[in-house]
């Protein structure tokens, strides 16, 4: 009796293992396929249409219907909006992470944290809509512009969107620093702020760097929120207060209109490939940096 | 001195610190009950007692470390040269400038040896590079570490051995130029050779500083201290010169502990 | 206990209590603390601002007709009923694929894989998959489901794309939930002669059901609001004519989030703002609902299955 039951149990075990491993394998297949498809379609512009990679990356001559695919304006737009987002959201996120890790009493923390989790859950299209109806008019009136669509608006919206990520990662990084370092610093006569800036932040620096890099990765891939407040003017940005365009916003706007097999469509896929490479590159950077530290 | 009868402390010893009716609470738990102690200047006072008797808790009240623990409450008076360090007008930051602390496990910052030592002086406003160098050398010499690290001051403090790290922590405290040094079982995490180096160091330090040291080793207390206080279950039971405590304890509980009836 | 200080306190402590260096450092510390409190309060303030603003603007739109009625092609007064339906439809469809795959993979990585090559590859693949921006995933879905499979825009295509997008998050949720189960349960079960699979299925998974459910509901919230990956896979048009509440996975399915984007972009109807504000409000409320449900259900399940709060 025991033998029969044990036999079935072991057969179940083997079936289960096969199923579980297959499911895990799906991840590997998926990323391989994605890279493959995007690489194929994203390089079609250069292999098939023989468009210059250099022009694509560095020329801002974008006239899709006439065969000009200089994407520098979009690249610059993405970089500037992301840079602004990190400039605002990075220090702010770390500061709030410090708050939760070092200052907040338990009751206050448990009141504030749900707010952060809710911010994470808000869909990007809603952020975009709020930006469009709340922030863009505010910018227009403050700076006396006809229209508030701008890189400034995109930067601000993005900074709010990456805040929860930066906050929770910063907090985690700080909590890892041993209590004994805080005590040692206090025992030498340091104020809490001095302990934070001179001991805790330097000690947690690798974790804080990860927080910031992940914020950048999130910001550069953001589509809807950016598209709604950026204005979509395919010109190289010269001011934070003018409409501009980003890689993500351009793709989502024109992918439906670009004819199949056209250079236009290929150029859009090239932009998508570029986005993928940047995002993956950033995450790989984090992995290697972390591995070297430990 | 708090000693009632028996041997007499030299009349010229002044008290550096006086602790009066000290109560320490963690929430509603009373960790220390009405402790009274006078600490003579420039001598070594050992605090002994079994685990959990409150000696570390007592020690931490002497430099207001309990301020950092939410839920901890200290009542009573702790005076340094006659001034109550718990007075509302006193900034705990300045208290810790005058009363330094060395912890059980070495806790150097993840910085260079040099940066560790000059951390305190930098905070207190010293910016002159030459003076900082001088302070670093003086403190490291006083901690008997200079010869071992003088050629690698810019290397990470975490590369040092446990015993060296602890001496670095002592140097770090000395750089701040305190008057009292509190030590919470400073050698318990170290091997015997490192321990004896620390003990020799304490013998030197007491010439210039008042040292209060918590130790779980009676032998260590007997070796290095001039006075000893015995704690049990949150109460200060007995205080006296070290030789008196170990040869002629007045309280039965002290005697039981000394003779090893409980650990 | 305030006792009277000695009339002339010893110079050492007093002098340092009043020294200029200590005072300015104390001031800096106080200012920094105040600033940090302000920064943290900013987060709460922002959240309240968004919700409040949208409530004010969108509340008037919300009506039974708005929530159940169909959108109009070009007239005012359209509703978002089919869009909400599509959002839930695609959500369920996505979960049907995502949850089993992610839970199985999570179980494998957490309980079985001893740290071999395969585990590293899978972990790396999952992390890489997580970095793919949603618009890029949407393009992948476009290439595969819409173009290569010749499905054109379909709910199924959208759901499969969203599956790929959310698999890493869902797997991480599973891994964390499983990691939270005490090792003693595993030891006890194996010690009684159970196989690993029996242990996982009968002991570990039930113990982890609380955090697992919380995680699944939270990820569902994000799926509900997803836009970029759906525009070019599930499409941006609702079947106006036919029964708009369409259960066919091979038809176009515009969700509420996509609809919010579309109504602004197309600007065909005169009351774009009204509809957009109403949609945004519904989306925000759904986020709140998902968050609350996630916590409540998670806690209840933990109590029921493990007997501890």
CB A184 within 8 A of CB B107: yes
CA distance B94 to chain C (A): 6
Interchain proximity C125–A280, CB inside 8 Å:
no
Please provide residue B34's backbone torsions phi and psi, each rounded to the nearest 5 degrees. 35, 65
Task: Reply yes or no on whether the pLDDT at B254 is more than 80.
Answer: yes
Same structural domain for residues A15 and A111?
no
Question: Smallest Cα–Cα separation from B104: which of B65, B149, B142?
Answer: B65
C300 contact partners, CB below 8 Å, separation of at least 6: C210
Quick check: is A59 in a domain?
A: no
The domain total for chain C is 2
Which uninterrupted H or E stretch holds C132? none
Same structural domain for residues C34 and C150?
no
The gap from C-alpha B160 to its chain's centroid, in whole angstroms, comes to: 23
Q: Is the dihedral of CA B109, B114, B120, B126 positive or negative?
A: negative
Residue A16 confidence (pLDDT): 86
B-chain residues near C16 (CB < 8 A): 94, 97-98
Residue A4 confidence (pLDDT): 58
Band of the pLDDT at B263, cuts 50, 70, 90?
A: low
Interchain proximity C12–B91, CB inside 8 Å:
no
Same structural domain for residues A139 and A41?
no
Please provide residue C250's backbone torsions phi and psi, each rounded to the nearest 5 degrees. -100, 15
What's the mean pLDDT in C200-220?
Answer: 89
Alpha-carbon distance of C248 to C238, in angstroms, equals: 13
What's the mean pLDDT in B156-184?
Answer: 94
**Which one is predicted more confidently, C183 or C278?**
C278
The domain total for chain A is 2
Q: What percent of chain C stands above pLDDT 90?
A: 41
Interchain proximity C13–B88, CB inside 8 Å:
no
What's the mean pLDDT in C62-79?
Answer: 82
Band of the pLDDT at C203, cuts 50, 70, 90?
A: confident
Same structural domain for residues C119 and C146?
yes
CB C226 within 8 A of CB C234: no
Same structural domain for residues A76 and A220?
yes
Band of the pLDDT at B181, cuts 50, 70, 90?
A: very high
Query: pTM surpassing 0.90?
Result: no
CATH number for the domain including A145? 1.10.3720.10
Same structural domain for residues C90 and C33?
no
Residue C20 confidence (pLDDT): 60
CB C108 within 8 A of CB A24: yes
Q: Does the domain spanning B15-107+180-258 belong to CATH 3.30.310.50?
A: no
- Provide the domain limits for residue A9: 2-48
What's the mean pLDDT in C31-44?
Answer: 92
Quick check: is A191 in a domain?
A: yes
Question: Smallest Cα–Cα separation from C47: which of B29, A104, B238, A127?
Answer: A127
What's the mean pLDDT in B233-258?
Answer: 91
The gap from C-alpha B218 to its chain's centroid, in whole angstroms, comes to: 16
B83 half-sphere exposure, CB direction, 13 A CA radius? 21
Question: Smallest Cα–Cα separation from B184: which of B108, B105, B107, B103?
Answer: B103
CB A42 within 8 A of CB A272: yes
Please provide residue B20's backbone torsions phi and psi, each rounded to the nearest 5 degrees. -125, 120
Question: Smallest Cα–Cα separation from B55: which of B257, B211, B230?
Answer: B230
Alpha-carbon distance of C103 to C201, in angstroms, equals: 11
A65 contact partners, CB below 8 Å, separation of at least 6: A264
Question: Smallest Cα–Cα separation from C48: which of A141, A165, A122, A223?
Answer: A122
Residue A182 confidence (pLDDT): 95
Quick check: is A113 in a domain?
A: yes
Q: Is the dihedral of CA B5, B11, B13, B14 positive or negative?
A: positive
Interchain proximity C12–B80, CB inside 8 Å:
yes
C235 half-sphere exposure, CB direction, 13 A CA radius? 20
Compute how many other C-beta atoms are within 10 angstroms of the C-beta atom of residue C292: 13
CB A131 within 8 A of CB A153: yes
Same structural domain for residues A95 and A231?
yes
Residue C241 confidence (pLDDT): 43
- Provide the domain limits for residue C44: 22-58
DSSP codes joined into one string, A4-51:
HHHHHHHHHHHHHHHHHHHHHHHHHHHHHHHHHHHHHHHHHHHHTS--
Quick check: is A137 in a domain?
A: yes
> Token pair 């670093």 is at which residue?
B136
The two three-digit tokens of residue B182, written as one number: 């509190």
CB B198 within 8 A of CB B187: yes
B-chain residues near C19 (CB < 8 A): 94
Quick check: is A63 in a domain?
A: no
Same structural domain for residues C53 and C128?
no
The domain ranges of chain B are: 15-107+180-258
Q: Is the dihedral of CA A110, A115, A119, A123 positive or negative?
A: positive
Same structural domain for residues C37 and C73?
no
Same structural domain for residues C123 and C161?
yes
**Which one is predicted more confidently, B63 or C252?**
B63
Alpha-carbon distance of A235 to A242, in angstroms, equals: 10
Band of the pLDDT at C194, cuts 50, 70, 90?
A: confident
Same structural domain for residues C101 and C142?
yes
CB C87 within 8 A of CB C257: yes
Same structural domain for residues A8 and A111?
no
Q: Of C58, C76, C108, which one is at a domain's C-terminal end? A: C58
Band of the pLDDT at C188, cuts 50, 70, 90?
A: confident
Q: Of C5, C31, C58, which one is at a domain's C-terminal end? A: C58
CA distance A167 to chain C (A): 10
Say what the ipTM of the complex is: 0.90
DSSP label at residue B156: B
The percent of chain A in helix, strand and coil, each rounded to the nearest 5, is: 80, 0, 20
Same structural domain for residues C98 and C27?
no
Q: Of C5, C32, C58, which one is at a domain's C-terminal end? A: C58
Alpha-carbon distance of C135 to A221, in angstroms, equals: 8
Interchain proximity B98–C13, CB inside 8 Å:
yes
In sequence order, which ranges of chain B are alpha helices (DSSP H)? 55-61, 92-98, 113-117, 119-123, 129-142, 146-149, 162-175, 192-205, 218-224, 242-247, 252-258
pLDDT tens digits along C4-37: 333 333 334 444 444 567 888 999 999 999 999 9
The two three-digit tokens of residue C175, written as one number: 């891994």
Partner residue opposite B82 with nearest CB, options C1, C10, C22: C10
The two three-digit tokens of residue A212, written as one number: 């910031």
10-residue stretch averages of pLDDT, chain A, 294 residues long? 66 86 92 94 88 88 85 93 95 95 89 88 93 93 90 95 94 94 94 94 92 92 93 88 93 89 90 94 82 63
Task: Reply yes or no on whether the pLDDT at C265 is more than 90.
Answer: no
Quick check: is A195 in a domain?
A: yes
Interchain proximity C10–B81, CB inside 8 Å:
yes
Interchain proximity B90–C10, CB inside 8 Å:
no
Question: Smallest Cα–Cα separation from C128: which of A259, B146, A276, A271?
Answer: A276
> What Rg, from alpha-carbon coordinates, does chain A have?
24
Interface contact A2, partner C, CB < 8 A: no
Residue of A nearest to C257 (CA): A125
CB C25 within 8 A of CB B91: no
The gap from C-alpha C114 to its chain's centroid, in whole angstroms, comes to: 30
Same structural domain for residues A156 and A200?
yes
Buried residues in A70-91 as b, exposed as e (16+ CB within 10 A): bbbbbbbbbbbbbbbbbebbbe
Same structural domain for residues C52 and C183?
no
C-chain residues near A159 (CB < 8 A): none
pLDDT tens digits along C137-148: 999 999 999 888
The two three-digit tokens of residue A272, written as one number: 């998508």
A118 contact partners, CB below 8 Å, separation of at least 6: C47, C287, C288, C291
Burial of C184 (0-12, 13-18, 19+ CB in 10 A): exposed
B-chain residues near C2 (CB < 8 A): 87-88
Band of the pLDDT at C68, cuts 50, 70, 90?
A: confident
Quick check: is C16 in a domain?
A: no
> Token pair 């303030």 is at which residue?
C45
Alpha-carbon distance of A281 to A283, in angstroms, equals: 5
Quick check: is A141 in a domain?
A: yes
Residue B12 confidence (pLDDT): 52
Quick check: is A58 in a domain?
A: no
A-chain residues near C170 (CB < 8 A): none
Quick check: is C180 in a domain?
A: yes
Burial of B103 (0-12, 13-18, 19+ CB in 10 A): buried
Mutate to test the interface with C, among A43, A98, A123, A253 (most CBs of C within 10 A): A123
Same structural domain for residues A211 and A244?
yes
Quick check: is C14 in a domain?
A: no
Same structural domain for residues A17 and A152?
no
Same structural domain for residues A113 and A196?
yes
Alpha-carbon distance of B37 to B78, in angstroms, equals: 9
Alpha-carbon distance of B122 to B175, in angstroms, equals: 10
Same structural domain for residues C149 and C191?
yes
CATH number for the domain including C285? 1.10.3720.10
Partner residue opposite C22 with nearest CB, options B81, B84, B94: B94
Task: Reply yes or no on whether the pLDDT at B5 is more than 70.
Answer: no
Question: Smallest Cα–Cα separation from B171: which of B96, B106, B259, B238?
Answer: B106
Same structural domain for residues C159 and C236?
yes
Same structural domain for residues C102 and C162?
yes
Alpha-carbon distance of C268 to A235, in angstroms, equals: 27
C-chain residues near B124 (CB < 8 A): 21
Task: Reply yes or no on whether the pLDDT at C61 is more than 90.
Answer: no
Band of the pLDDT at C308, cuts 50, 70, 90?
A: low
Instruction: Write a three-state SS string for B175-237.
Output: HCCCCEEEEECCCCCCCHHHHHHHHHHHHHHCCCCEEEEECCCHHHHHHHCCEEEEEECCEEE
Task: Reply yes or no on whether the pLDDT at B6 is more than 60.
Answer: no
What residues form DSSP beta bridges with B38?
B18
Question: Smallest Cα–Cα separation from C22: which of C13, C33, C10?
Answer: C13
Angle at C93 between CA C210 and CA C241, to 5 degrees: 140
Residue B175 confidence (pLDDT): 94
Same structural domain for residues A144 and A249?
yes
């Amino acid at each position: 009796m025991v033998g029969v039951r044990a036999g079935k149990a072991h057969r179940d075990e083997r079936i289960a293992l096969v199923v579980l491993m297959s499911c895990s394998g799906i991840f590997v297949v998926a990323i391989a396929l994605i890279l493959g498809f995007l690489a194929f379609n994203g390089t079609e512009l250069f292999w098939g249409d023989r468009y210059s990679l250099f022009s694509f990356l560095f020329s801002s001559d974008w006239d899709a219907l006439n065969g000009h695919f200089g994407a520098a304006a979009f690249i610059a737009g993405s970089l500037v909006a992301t840079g602004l987002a990190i400039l605002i959201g990075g220090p702010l996120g770390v500061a709030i992470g410090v708050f939760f890790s070092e200052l907040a009493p338990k009751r206050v923390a448990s009141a504030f944290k749900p707010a952060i989790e809710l911010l994470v859950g808000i869909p990007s299209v809603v952020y975009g809509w709020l930006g469009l109806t709340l922030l863009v008019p505010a910018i227009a009136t403050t700076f006396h512009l006809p229209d508030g669509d701008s890189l400034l608006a995109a930067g601000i919206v993005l900074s709010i969107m990456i805040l929860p990520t930066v906050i929770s990662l910063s907090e985690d990084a700080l909590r890892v620093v041993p209590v004994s370092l805080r005590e040692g610093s206090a025992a030498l006569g340091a104020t809490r702020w001095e302990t934070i800036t001179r001991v805790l932040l330097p000690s947690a620096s690798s974790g804080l760097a990860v927080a910031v890099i992940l914020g950048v990765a999130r910001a550069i891939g953001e589509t809807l929120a950016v598209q709604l407040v950026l204005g979509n003017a395919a010109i190289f940005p010269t001011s934070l207060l003018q409409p501009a365009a980003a890689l993500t916003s351009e793709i989502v706007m024109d992918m439906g209109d670009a004819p199949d097999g056209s250079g236009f469509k290929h150029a859009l896929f090239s932009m998508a490939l570029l986005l993928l490479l940047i995002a993956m590159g950033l995450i790989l950077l984090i992995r290697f940096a972390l591995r070297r530290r430990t | 001195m708090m000693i009632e009868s028996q041997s007499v402390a030299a009349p010229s010893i002044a008290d550096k610190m006086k602790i009066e009716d000290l109560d320490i609470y963690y929430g509603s738990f009373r960790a220390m009950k009405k402790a009274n102690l006078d600490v003579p200047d420039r001598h070594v006072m050992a605090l002994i007692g079994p685990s959990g008797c409150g000696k570390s808790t007592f020690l931490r009240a002497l430099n207001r470390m309990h301020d950092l623990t939410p839920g901890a409450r200290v009542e009573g008076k702790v005076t340094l040269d006659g001034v109550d360090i718990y007075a509302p007008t006193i900034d705990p930051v300045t208290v810790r400038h005058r009363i330094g602390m060395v912890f059980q496990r070495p806790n150097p910052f993840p910085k260079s040896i040099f940066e560790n030592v000059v951390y305190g002086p930098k905070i207190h406003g010293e910016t002159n590079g030459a003076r900082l160098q001088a302070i670093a050398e003086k403190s490291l010499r006083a901690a008997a570490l200079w010869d071992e690290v003088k050629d690698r001051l810019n290397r990470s403090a975490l590369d040092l051995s446990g015993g060296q790290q602890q001496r670095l922590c002592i140097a770090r405290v000395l750089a701040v130029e305190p008057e009292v040094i509190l030590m919470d079982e400073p050698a318990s995490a170290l091997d015997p050779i490192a321990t004896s180096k620390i003990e020799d160091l304490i013998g030197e330090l007491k010439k210039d500083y008042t040292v209060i040291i918590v130790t779980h080793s009676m032998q260590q207390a007997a070796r290095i201290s001039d006075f000893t206080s015995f704690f049990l279950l949150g109460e200060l039971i007995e205080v006296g010169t070290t030789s008196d405590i170990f040869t002629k304890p007045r309280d039965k509980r002290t005697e039981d502990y000394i003779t090893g009836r409980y650990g | 206990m305030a006792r009277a200080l000695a009339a002339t306190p010893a110079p050492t402590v007093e002098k340092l209590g009043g020294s200029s260096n200590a005072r300015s450092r104390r001031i800096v510390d106080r200012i920094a603390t105040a600033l940090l409190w302000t920064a943290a309060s900013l987060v709460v303030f922002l959240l309240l601002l968004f919700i409040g603003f949208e409530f004010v603007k969108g509340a008037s739109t919300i009506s039974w007709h708005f929530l159940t009625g169909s959108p109009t092609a070009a007239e005012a007064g359209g509703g978002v009923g089919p869009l909400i339906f599509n959002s839930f439809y695609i959500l369920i469809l996505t979960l049907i694929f995502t949850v089993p795959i992610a839970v199985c993979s999570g179980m494998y990585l957490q309980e079985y894989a001893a740290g071999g090559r395969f585990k590293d590859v899978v972990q790396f693949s999952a992390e890489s998959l997580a970095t793919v921006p949603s618009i890029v995933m949407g393009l992948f879905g476009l290439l595969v489901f819409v173009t290569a499979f010749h499905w054109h825009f379909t709910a199924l295509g959208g759901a499969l794309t969203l599956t790929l997008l959310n698999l890493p998050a869902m797997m991480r949720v599973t891994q964390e939930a499983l990691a939270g189960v005490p090792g003693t349960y595993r030891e006890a079960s194996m010690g009684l002669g159970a196989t690993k699979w029996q242990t996982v299925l009968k002991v570990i998974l039930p113990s982890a059901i609380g955090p697992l459910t919380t995680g699944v509901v939270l990820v569902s919230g994000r799926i509900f609001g997803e836009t970029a990956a759906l525009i070019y896979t599930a499409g941006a048009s609702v079947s106006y004519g036919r029964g708009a509440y369409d259960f066919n996975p091979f038809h176009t399915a515009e969700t509420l989030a996509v609809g919010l984007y579309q109504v602004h972009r197309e600007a065909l109807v005169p009351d774009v703002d009204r509809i957009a504000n109403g949609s945004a409000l519904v989306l925000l409320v759904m986020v709140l609902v998902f968050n609350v449900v996630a916590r409540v259900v998670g806690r209840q399940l933990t109590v029921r299955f493990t007997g501890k709060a």
